[in-house]
Amino acid sequence: MSSASFSAHLRKEHMIKPAIINAIINGGIAYAVFSSKEVIGLFALHGMVLDTLLTVFLLTQISTWILFAQIRSKVMKGKLDVLPDPIRRGQGFFAGIGQIIPASNGFVYSIALGAVATLIVAPMVFAGFYLICGETLIPMQAIIGKAIYTPILAAIISPITAIRAQIATEDRMNEALIPN
């Protein structure tokens, strides 16, 4: 597979689809949680800060676990093309970011990626809510905000994880084939 065709595959399968799914799911969850409230405090005990921290960390965890399992299964069954060499070497935005966190253990990778995403993304989301809404939000602001930031997060996390999961699985398979 060429780098261009792999990039197109990455955009479709690991950016657009997860973004749409997360917009629908997290928008629905936000509607269920926030629609009955009059206002939502940004920094309140059960406000947007806590919701955002939990959402960013858990969305990253769930996405990573699902993707590692899917990619690992596809690689082991021979249903995925070998990654283009430039991507395998970490060239390109998503491949380069993914190399920062070792991916040999999917669980450790998911915890590390979740922590990094929470430390980087959550403060940006808080700042966005604060700049646009102030310290209190009406339910529709919280619902729309969550339906916007979660698909963006999914579109970043998914391709990084897909690449790392494929590399980790291929490496493990290659190590098993090489005698000691």
DSSP assignment of 34-60: HTT-S-EESSSTTSHHHHHHHHHHHHH
Dump pLDDT digits (tens) for 21-36.
999 999 999 999 999 9
- Nearest CA to 141 out of 15, 22, 62, 52 is that of 52
Lowest mean pLDDT among 64-73, 101-110, 164-173: 101-110
Distance CA 63, CA 2 (A): 26
Whether the full predicted model's pTM is greater than 0.95, yes or no, is no
Task: For 29-59, write each residue's pLDDT tens digit.
Answer: 999 999 999 999 999 988 999 999 999 999 9
3-state DSSP of 126-150: HHHHHHHHCCEECHHHHHHHHHHHH
Structure tokens at 116: 């990094």
Give the 3-state secondary structure of residue 47: coil
Token look-up 């979660």 returns 150
What's the rounded Cα separation, in Å, for the pair 35 and 37?
A: 6
Measured CA to CA, the distance from residue 108 to residue 113 in angstroms comes to 8
Length of the chain measured in residues = 180
